[in-house]
Amino acid sequence: MELLIENIAIAQNPVDWKQLAWDYWIPDIPWTNGCDVTGTVVKVGSGVTKFKAGDRIVTYLSRRTPRHGSYQTLSIADESLTAHLPERYTYEQGATIPLGFITAACGLINPLGVKLLVDGPSKNESLLVWGGSSSCGAFAIQLAKAAGYTVFSTASPVNHDYVLSLGASAVFDYHDDDVVEKIRNAAGPNLSLVYDAIAENGSIEASAACITSPSGGVIASVLGIPEKDFGNVKVLQARAFLIGESKEVNDITYEILDAMLQSGKLIPNRVKVLPGGLRAVKEGWELGREHKISGEKFVYRIAETQF
């Protein structure tokens, strides 16, 4: 069941430029890249019950089919991957949500085994989010906190206040030589769950070293799995595409997303609008490749595009 969407704001994700640079998950041409978008419903397809023409929406678009894609004026969206966007959120803020939220939710559900809740009771359990100012990390903090966990995180000092505002109990500078020791001391003897939102430059090794539980633990990695043996610590992939493989995961994720949006409890990523609309995408992707994005997400306004 599908919706025709008039796109208003489009957010950039690392996978957008990586998909082309690394030549993976590219379907038959013609094809449009991108997956995070907000806009208004133009028309609803047969069987659609949750939306009507004119609704403000936020949606996740599949990157692996030629029917979808966000970097265009109109997109076809799946009803099950779409949520109503309340007026309290701007279109630009809403566009930062889909992929980061989905990746965080899927990784927490499987492999970490977190039961997602909106206002969960305190579990007296800790969870570490490595890279809390990243898009996925920011949503992982909020989701874990809402599920009742005490959340610890890492970030550059300039982003510490931001990460704390998301719900982390403490945040540590990952540049510090003794960052692992600091996290272990803060978390206590039973830390067993880590969401690694960076998964490169030694973050998985550091995350594994932070686990204090005698029985070991599990790390959800947003990227690939290293071949290195970490003993009783398992490293498994946080797979965003679970959203398309499991109706149960899809339903839970979007139930939580909708509840957090409607209550206003969800904090979107920080927005940086690149002026020029779609014509600024090349610049944004180049900045992404050069790792010149920190603690915010690039967003493009369709209305600023000169056609």
Q: Which has more pLDDT, 245 or 129?
A: 129
At 165, list the tokens.
């505002």
The answer as to CATH 3.90.180.10 being correct for domain 2-97+268-304 is yes
* Confidence bin at 104 (pLDDT 50/70/90): very high
Q: If you average pLDDT over residues 275-303, what whole number do you get? A: 95
Task: Report whether pLDDT(63) > 70.
Answer: no
Cα dihedral value 166, 171, 173, 176, nearest 10: -160
Domain positions in the chain are: 2-97+268-304, 101-237
Structure token digits, residue 126? 């800790």
Residue 64 confidence class, pLDDT cut points 50, 70, 90: low
Tell me if the domain spanning 101-237 has CATH number 3.40.50.720.
Answer: yes
pTM of the model: 0.94
Amino acid at 302: I
Stretch 255-277: mean pLDDT: 97
Rg over alpha carbons for the chain, rounded to the nearest Å, is 19
Query: How many CB atoms lie under 10 A from the CB of residue 274?
Result: 17
Taking residues 53-68, what's their average pLDDT?
87
Q: Phi first, then psi: give them for residue 98, nearest 5 degrees.
A: -55, -65
Q: From residue 201, how far is each of 141, 145, 213, 248 by CA, in Å?
A: 21, 26, 24, 34
